[in-house]
Each structure stands twice: as C-alpha cells, then as structure tokens.
Amino acid sequence: MIPNWLIQRAYLTPDKTALSFENETWTFAELKNKSMVLAGKLTANDLQEGQRIALLGPSNADMVFIIHACMLAGLEIVMLNSRLTTKELEWQLEDSGASAVIVADEMHDVVANTAVRPLLYSTIDQSVEQQFDVQELWTTDRTITIMYTSGTTGFPKGVRQTAGNHVSSAMSSVLNLGLKDDDVWLCAMPLFHISGFSILVRSALYGMEVRLYEKFDAIRTAAEIRDGSVTRMSVVSLTLDKILRELEKDNAQAHPSFQTMLAGGGSVPVDYMERAIACRIPVLQTYGMTETSSQTATLAAGDAIRKMGSAGKPLFFNQIKIKNAVNPYDKGEVLIHGPHVTPGYIGRFADINPLEDGWLPTGDIGYFDEEGYLYVIDRRSDLIISGGENIYPAEIENVLVAHANVSEAGVCGREHAEWGSVPVAFVVVAGDVSAEELLLFCEEQLARYKVPKEFYFVDKLPRNASNKLLRRELREWLDCPK
C-alpha cells in the first residue's frame, strides 16, 4: 500500500512551500485544502471514485489544483495534450472511454463538439462542495494517470501509469540525484507530459517546491539559475541551448546552489555539454519514456564529464539490457524491466502486452560500454540504412549544431535508387551560413556516407509539446519542404 501522496505530505510538512506560480505561492497545507474543496466539487458533478476522466488545460496553478483534486477524488486522469487538434483529441477521448473531459474555459471550443461531456473549470468552481470519502492508502496497481504516446507509428497508445510506477520512478531518481531541504524544481515542461507530471509527483513525495512556468521562458529561466532561486530543472536539448545562449550574453554562470539540469528527450550534443560546463551548469543526461513513468537511467553527477553523451546506468530499481548483445559496444534495441514499467495500455490496445518475456521493447537503439554505461543512439524507426551502413540521425545533428551559425538541426533519410536511403538535413540558422559551408563542415567530422546530401533551411523544426524533435514529420516535408 502507498499513502495518498498529498494527504501524507500535508501531514508531514504542512507549512513548507509546495508550489509557486507567477507571484503566488502555496504551502502543502494550502495545496491540500484547495484540492480537497475541488475534489468535493468534482463529486458534486457526478464524478465518482474509480471513474476515468480526461483533463485539458494550460500548465498553470489551476491545473495543479485540478490534478490533485482528481487524485484525491480517486479518478483516473487521461492527460490530454493541449497542442493536439480537435480530431486528435476526439480520437483519444473516444479510445479512453472517459466519462467527462475537465477543460479550462479558454480551451472549451476544442472539445465542445466531441461526444464526451465537457466540465469547465468555471462550472466546477461554481459548484457546491459535496462530501466524499478520501482514500488515505492506495494500492500499488491503482491507475493514477493515462498518457497517450506520440504515435510514431500507427495510432497512439494510452499508457497506464500506476501509483507504484510513479513512486518507483521518483524514489529511484532521488537515490541518484539526492535531495536538499531548499530544493526548488523549475518546471517548464507541460504537465500533461510525463516529464512535467513526474515533477509534481516528486514534489509530493519529497516535500519539494515546484516553481511552475506556464510556458518556457529562456530569459527568466537563465535569471533564476544565475540568481539561485531554483536548484533543479528538466530540459531537452533545444531549451538547454536557449538557456545557455542567455547566460553567455552576459558571460554569466549558474549560482553555486544550482544542482541539476536533467536533460532528456534525446542525446545532448557534446558542444552543448561543453558550453554548460563553462556556465557551471551540471547537465545530467537521462533516458526514459511514457511507458516508464519518466527516468529509467540517468548519469550520475560525478560521471557527467568522464562519460559525456551517456545516459548513465539504470536507476536503483531498474534493469536495462541490449537485445541480442553479447559484448560491450554491441548495438541493439534497448529493453527495460522494473517496477516503473507500465502494466499495459487502454482502449483498442488494451489486449496488447507491452512486454516481451518480461521486458519492455523501447524501439530505441543503444549499447553499453565496458563499464556498463548506457548510450542511446537513436530511434529504431529513425535509423537510416544507406548502402548497408547504419546511419544515426542524432550523430549528424550533433555535428551540425556545433557550427556557430546553426541553432537547430534535424536529419532524416530520403529514398535513393542506388543506396537505398541517404541522409538529408533541415537546419535553423543563427547567422549567415551556406549549404556549401555546412557540407564542408560535415565532411571534416563525418564519414562520407554520413554527410547529408541536401540541406534545407527552415524557420523552425517540428517538435512535440516537450520540444522533442519529430523526425517522422521531416520525412513528410521532403515532398514539400517548408
């Protein structure tokens, strides 16, 4: 059994700051009280323990209160991506079987014509609170959240994440990163994404403040890191680069109290790591996915420089192996096992077992070095096979973003009559640079077959809500490049 997170935390440290957003702060006692009132109002709107609801709204304080209210009321929460179209949301609402969709008033139009009953934030606020029974203990297999995968192939899958999954992930993380009384985790990740939601879980379990941003703000973030008002943050490569650029403008460095920049969503370019070191930002590359309730492996702080580019070793409760690998550096699909791994899917994929012989196939290609450190190279679906040679887009992207006048790069494969497929690059520039110059730059650092055969200059790259590059959309751009 697991204690109800917010009930237990508010009992243990009621006066400690739980959440800050814009110019307001709330203690854990205040967070509990607000969420309890909302839970009673949800009950008054015919939502009962065990029901499944969907949630759609911006990542602000109101959403935090609603999330905790849903958990207190015993509801399963389908976390909807606010960047999806009405058609995409309709599919997920139908697939999930949600009995209602709780929606911020300003987003009502997106779901107004769906078959699922909308319940506006304002309607909840105006409701009369109704008494309900709070479950102070949860079973480990209780489904807390459901998040849909991005659907790189076919339809997206609704991934169940249980109380045990979330707790295991949070506990493994703190055993690796440590914890201080004054820790403040800056959350600029969307709360509907596992990277954002997991920060709320850590907050409740650790008794740690979350500094919440509705949207990522590089200038404000850099100032907080420089001034020491936050101690930890989760980023992807794109947001890390933007923070570094702001610090570099003033030759600024992170405050000594800043402990961790947890970088996920793909490998971090070596150039970014070196710049982060110059800014005294400890970047720890991590590896995880929706099916593992965030982190599976994370590089320890002491190894950040020595093992640059590695995602580290599996966290305490987790296991990782490489399919069919015999020796160090043998590449293959990354397989995961542990208490943080989802028990399964919902909807049309409910009958599909996510595991093969007890292990979760990730679709990622990686290897272990001789010391057991994991290196994740790329998505198996993004692999380019050219003339029998395997080409990993991330390797080329890392070279391109090291160019002084390139801010972003995305690489995918184009079909080729002779070679089967060849790499092409989409580039967002930060200064004057030509395709010829980039070609020469790549030829100096890459084998000839890895050098992009074409360069497309674009204003921005396709990314999901957590700013992870969507290479499948790059392939769609090849017929009509942006």
**CA gap 411, 455 in Å, rounded:** 9
The mean pLDDT value for 239-245 works out to 93
What mean pLDDT value characterizes the chain? Answer: 92
**pLDDT tens digits for range 42-89:** 999 999 999 999 999 999 999 999 999 999 999 999 999 888 888 889
- What type of residue sits at position 40? G
Count Cβ neighbours within 10 Å for each residue of 286-306 and write b for 16 or more, e otherwise. Answer: bbbbbbbbbbbbbbeeebbee
Task: Answer whether 2-11+23-138 and 165-380 agree in fold.
Answer: yes
The predicted model scores a pTM of: 0.84
Domain boundaries, the chain: 2-11+23-138, 165-380, 383-477
More confident residue, 394 or 367: 367
- How many CA atoms, within 13 angstroms, populate the side-chain half-sphere of residue 234? 33
* Backbone phi and psi for residue 241, each to the nearest 5 degrees, phi listed first: -60, -40
Q: Quickly name the fold that domain 165-380 has.
A: Rossmann fold (3.40.50)
Q: In sequence order, what E strands does 236-310 have?
A: 260-263, 283-289, 294-298
In the prediction, which pLDDT does 150 show? 61
The residues with which 27 forms a beta bridge, in sequence order, are 17
Q: Quickly name the fold that domain 2-11+23-138 has.
A: Rossmann fold (3.40.50)
Class of domain 383-477: alpha beta
pLDDT confidence bin for 481, thresholds 50/70/90: low
The mean pLDDT value for 304-332 works out to 92
Residue 152 has pLDDT above 50, yes or no: no
Residue 216 has pLDDT above 80, yes or no: yes
**pLDDT tens digits for range 37-51:** 999 999 999 999 999
Residue 127 has pLDDT above 70, yes or no: yes
